[in-house]
Amino acid sequence: MLLAISTSGLWRVLWWSLIGAGIVAGYAALLRAVGVDWVRIRWSALGAYGVGYVWWFFSKGVIIDRVSVLWSFAIFLSLASLGRPLREWARMAGDLGIFVVMWLSYDESRGIADGLGMAIQVESVRNIDRFLFFGTDPVVWLQERFYRGPNNVQWYDVIGSCVYYSHFIVPPIVIAVLWLANRDQWVRYMRRFATLLFVACVMFVLLPTAPPWMAAEGKNRVGLDLNALPPLRRPTGNGWRRIGLDGFVETWDTGRDWANQVAAMPSLHSAFALFVIVFFWPQIRNRYIRAAMLLYPLTMAVALAYFAEHYFIDAIAGWLVVGGSFLLWNRIETRLGQRSVDEPTDPEDNTDNDHCTDDRLVSSASGDNIEPVASIAP
């Protein structure tokens, strides 16, 4: 199914989706017929899906185009909802809809910016980086000292490629696992994630920005010669080639051509890397683990500059948006929590005892592992 999603037209995607749905339905019906409960059916289906995803990951490369990511996420949610009541499927569809809107808004930002006639930022971001690094272009400096050419890949090229491509793996996996394991935490995550994406898309519209590889001297992939920097390479996938994962590079080369090429300010790579760390930071008490966690966004920022994908100011802007998103929702949730505590209760109102509104209790009574109900709306 993933092959059809990534390489075929929409009609083939729908056709293979129907075939896949039929196979899953037959599989579930067979297991139910022999007395297997829905919890085991769901976990076995998710396990098979995970094996298939890992196989695709190593044989074909990471899934990065928006349609494929959305279909993959839809398949995951559908398998995780097998055997659940219709209201759970409706809630799942709503959750997926939120994800679809966020994911596709990124691609639409380029068209809106073009329609508004917004000028592409070229020298302004380069000048900010020069100011931050005392007159030096850090992107140029890194490539002059560390880049050895496509046939002489170094160990740090491999690390950089792995960290860079984790952007397409870590956030979706965290979203999927949280949705499956703890929907309350999923809601907290998605509130902040949606805010981050919204602010980023607004900035993409208002400040379309040429990344270093586009601003460099010489005609680039999009046919421009902006000549704001010396000639630069874009060796993002060299590390993957070094360890034999050429499929990753081919997938990336195909996917980056349809992406919004001037969605560079802020850097979502840097933002997502810090976002995941900040979200789980309160649960981590060991200072050594915390220090290791901080290496992830820092390494991402350096890799982005070395690969000429972003300026450092793009990364800093992404981190600031992450910080603002968490500060906003932490304050809102604190006020909402305090308001619920301060609200007076009517001692004569016994409806809470008669009609339990906590789906966790309802689910426990039914013997199903349905996660508690929560809403994206505050």
Longest dimension (CA), the chain: 78
Residues 6 or more apart whose Cβ sits within 8 Å of residue 298: none
Give the rounded distance of the alpha carbon of 13 from its chain centre. 22
Report the pLDDT value the prediction gives residue 325, as an integer from 0 to 100: 95
The dihedral region occupied by 149, where left means phi > 0, alpha psi between -120 and 50, and beta the remainder, is left
Q: Tell me the backbone φ, ψ of residue 317, rounded to 5 degrees.
A: -60, -40
Answer whether 41's CB lies under 8 Å from 31's CB: yes
b/e map of 253-277 (b: 16 or more CB within 10 Å)? eebbeeebbbbbbbbbbbbbbbbbb
CA distance 270 to 315: 5
- Name 209's bridge partners: 121
Contact in structure between 72 and 2 (CB atoms under 8 Å): yes
Question: How crowded is residue 170: how many other Cβ atoms within 10 Å of its Cβ?
Answer: 15
What 8-state DSSP symbol labels residue 221?
Answer: T
- The CA distance from 263 to 205, in Å, is 8
User: What contacts 242, CB < 8 A, 6 or more positions away?
Assistant: 153, 157, 158
Question: Looking at residue 201, what is its pLDDT?
Answer: 86
Instruction: Give the pLDDT confidence score for residue 322 in this predicted structure.
Output: 96
Instruction: Write out residues in the chain with pLDDT < 50, as ranges.
Output: 1-10, 347, 349-378
Report how far residue 283's alpha carbon sits from residue 280's, in angstroms, rounded to the nearest whole number. 6
Q: How far apart are CA 156 and CA 239, in angstroms?
A: 8
Per residue in 127-183, pLDDT (tens digit) is 999 999 999 999 999 999 999 888 888 899 989 988 988 887 888 788 888 887 888
* Average pLDDT over the chain, rounded to an integer: 76
CB atoms within 10 A of CB 25: 11
| Per-domain boundaries in the chain | 1-84, 105-340
Would you give the DSSP letter of residue 47? H
Degrees, nearest 5: CA angle 152-267-190: 125
The answer to whether residues 75 and 21 touch, using CB atoms and an 8 Å cutoff, is: no
What residue type is assigned to position 10 of the chain?
L
Q: Residue 318 in contact with residue 266, Cβ under 8 Å?
A: yes
- Per the document, the length of the chain is 378
Buried b (16+ CB within 10 A) or exposed e, 51-62: eeeeebbeebbb
> Is the CB of residue 122 less than 8 Å from the CB of residue 210?
yes
State how far the Cα of 43 lies from the Cα of 168, in Å rounded to an integer: 24
